[in-house]
Amino acid sequence: MTAQRVALALIGALLVLFLALPIVSLFASASATDVASGLRHPLVWPALRLSLTTTLITLAIVVTLGTPLSWTLSRRQGRFWQALESAIQLPVVIPPAVAGVALLLAFGRRGLFGAVLGGAGWSVTFTTTAVVMAEVFVSAPFFVQAATSAFRRIDPQLVLVSRTFGASPLRVFFRVAVPLAAPGLGAAAAMAWARALGEFGATLMFAGNLPGTTQTLPLAIYTALEADLRAAQAISMALVVVAFSLLWFVRVTLKSSLEVS
Amino acid sequence: MSLVARLGARVGELTIDVDLNTAGGTLVLVGPNGAGKTSLLSLLLGALPAERGRLSIGDTLLFDSEQGVDLPVERRRIGYVPQDHALFPQLTVRDNLAFAVQSASAPMHRVDGALRDFGLEALAHRRPRSLSGGEKQRVALARALSVDPRALLLDEPLAALDVPARAEVRAFLAQTLRDRGLPSIVVTHDPTDALALGQRVAVLEAGRVSQQGIWDELAAAPATRFVEQFVAAASGRV
C-alpha cells in the first residue's frame, strides 16, 4: 500500500519538476549584476510604462462594464442567457492569434467596423488604443466568468429581502450585490489583470510591436530575445514576480471570502 | 385589514392554486414538506410570477390578472423574514435597519424607534455573525417592521433556534404579531409554534389549501389525514 502511494506521489512529482524547472532556471541563472544591466536595457522602461498604463485602462474598462454584465448574467436563467454566457467565454478558449485576426477583421482598416472608423478619420490598428482593445478582448471573459460566480454565491434571500424594503435595482446592485461579492470581484479583477499583462498574440497581430506605442512587456521580451538574452530574462523575472503576486492575492482573497460565506 | 389572495401558478413541477384570507390577524400556514409553502410566499411577494388570480391587502390591489395589475416586489411593501433571517453580514444591526429605512425612503428616526421597540440598542453596533439565533430573529423582525409594511410574511421563524431560545422567541413573536395587528402569514412545520402564533390556520397540501379556519374548526372536522395528525400533535403538546 505504502509503495503504491509513493509511486503515485513520484509520478505527480515529475510534473511538478517539469513546471518548476523553467521558473527556477529563470531566476537561478542570473546574477544580480545581470538583472541590473538587463533592466537598464532601453526596451525595458518604455515597455513597462506602456504595459502598466494599458493594463490599468483595460482593468478599468473591464471592471466598469463587466461588473453590471456579470450581475445580470448571474440573475438570469434560460437558454438565451446561457448561450450569451458561453459566447462571452469564447476568447478564453480561442488561440490569441485567432483573436488578433478577428480584431483586425472587425476594427482593421478593411474590417467590418474599421471602415466606419476610417470614415471618421480614426484608425485604431497599430496604436495604443489597439493594445487596450486586444487586452480587453482577452481579459474580460476571465473577469466576467469569475465575477458571475462571485455574484451567484450571494444568498438570493438577501436580494429578495432588499427588494421588499423598496430598494431599487441600482441600490440592490451597489449596496447589496457589489459589497457582498467584493472579495470575489477583487480576485476576478486580479485574474483579468494578470491575463492582460501577459497578452502577446492578439496585441502583436492587431497592434503591432512599435516601441513606446504598442510594445508591451511580453512583446519587449520577444524583441529583446533576438539581441540580448539578459534583458529578456530580466523582464521575464519581473513579470513572473508580478503574476505570482496576483495569483497569491487571488488565492488569499478567495479563501477569506469563502470562509465568510 | 386583511390580506386576501386567490392565486394560481406553476412553480417547477408543482401547481399552486390557493385561496387565502388572513381575516384581520395572523394566518398560520402549515403543510408537509414540498407542499409549496415557501413558493407561495414568493408568489405573494411578487418574486415568482403568478399566472392568474387576485391579491389585495385592505383596499390596495397588488395583483389582478384580469385587470392586468401586477406590482413588482419593490412596490408591494410586504415585509418578509426568511428562515435564515437574511441579515446583511457586512452591516451592523443599526446599518441593517438603516438600509431598510433608506430603501423605503422613510424618515431615519424609524431606525432608532425600531432599535428601542425591539430592545436592540445594546446590539446596535454588533454584526450579525456575533448574534445569537434569537437576537438575529429580533433584528430581522425589527428591520422588516421598521419600513411600515402592509403585511408581514415569516418563513419558519423559529426553525433555526435551539430549544431554550425557542420558547422565549415564540412568546415574543406571538406578542409582536398581536400588538401590530398587521395581516401576517407565518409558515411553520411545528405544531406547537403553529398553535402559539395564530388563531387561524391554512393547511397547504400539494399546492392547494386543503383546509382553512380557526383551530377549533380544524379539530372538529379535519378535512385530511394530515390536518387530523397536525391538530392532534398541536393539542397533544399543550
Residue A49 makes CB contacts below 8 A (sequence gap 6+) with none
| CA–CA distance, A253 with B104 (Å, rounded to integer) | 33
Domains of chain B: 3-77+151-235 (3.40.50.300), 87-149 (no CATH)
Q: What is the mean pLDDT of residues A95-119?
A: 88
**pLDDT value of position A247:** 82
How are the residues of chain A apportioned to helix, strand and coil, as percentages rounded to the nearest 5? 80, 0, 20
On whether any CB of chain B is under 8 Å from the CB of A49, the answer is: no
| CA–CA distance, B78 with B44 (Å, rounded to integer) | 8
On whether any CB of chain A is under 8 Å from the CB of B77, the answer is: yes
Residues of chain B with pLDDT under 50: 238
Q: What is the pLDDT of residues A14-28, one digit of tens each?
A: 999 999 999 999 898
Identify the closest residue of chain B to A172 by CA–CA distance. Answer: B103
Q: What is the mean pLDDT of residues A40-55?
A: 91
**pLDDT value of position A42:** 87
Q: What is the pLDDT of residues A139-161, one digit of tens each?
A: 999 999 999 999 999 999 999 99
Identify the closest residue of chain A to B152 by CA–CA distance. Answer: A164
pLDDT over 80 at A184, yes or no: yes
Q: Which ipTM score applies to this complex? A: 0.93
| CA–CA distance, A84 with B58 (Å, rounded to integer) | 44
Query: In which residue are the cell numbers 403538546 written?
Result: B237
3-state SS assignment for residue B225? helix
pLDDT over 70 at A259, yes or no: no
Q: Nearest C-alpha of chain B: how many angstroms from A172?
A: 9
CATH of A34-260, one of 3.40.47.10, 3.40.50.150, 1.10.1280.10, 1.10.3720.10: 1.10.3720.10
**A66, A72 Cβ separation under 8 angstroms:** no
pLDDT over 70 at A261, yes or no: no
Higher pLDDT, residue A227 or A210: A210
Q: Which of A160, A176, A260 sits opposite B80 (nearest CB)?
A: A160
Asked if the Cβ–Cβ distance from A164 to B149 is below 8 Å, we say: yes
Helices A32-39 and A229-260: angle between axes, nearest 10 degrees: 100
On whether any CB of chain B is under 8 Å from the CB of A153, the answer is: no
On whether any CB of chain B is under 8 Å from the CB of A82, the answer is: no
| CA–CA distance, A73 with A117 (Å, rounded to integer) | 30
| CA–CA distance, A148 with A76 (Å, rounded to integer) | 11
**A145, A62 Cβ separation under 8 angstroms:** no
Q: H helices then E strands: how many in chain B? A: 9, 11
The number of C-alpha atoms within 13 Å of B145 and in the hemisphere containing its C-beta is 23
**pLDDT value of position B238:** 45
Please count the residues of chain B.
Answer: 238
- Report percent pLDDT > 90 for chain A: 65
Asked if the Cβ–Cβ distance from A160 to B99 is below 8 Å, we say: no
How many beta carbons lie within 10 A of that of residue A209, not counting itself? 16
Q: Is A65 exposed, middle or buried (0-12, 13-18, 19+ CB in 10 A)?
A: middle
Contacts of A161 in chain B (CB under 8 A): 80-82, 86
pLDDT over 60 at A84, yes or no: yes
Higher pLDDT, residue B225 or A228: B225
Q: Nearest C-alpha of chain A: how many angstroms from B223?
A: 34
Contacts of A176 in chain B (CB under 8 A): 88
**pLDDT value of position B96:** 97
Q: Nearest C-alpha of chain B: how many angstroms from A261?
A: 9
| CA–CA distance, A49 with A42 (Å, rounded to integer) | 12
Q: Which of B72, B75, B86 sits opposite A155 (nearest CB)?
A: B86
* Closest among B236, B137, B217, B127 to B177, alpha carbons compared: B137
Contacts of A178 in chain B (CB under 8 A): none
pLDDT over 80 at A215, yes or no: yes
3-state SS assignment for residue B46? coil
**Residue ranges of the domains in chain A?**
1-30, 34-260
**pLDDT value of position A95:** 92
**pLDDT value of position A242:** 83
Asked if the Cβ–Cβ distance from A157 to B82 is below 8 Å, we say: yes
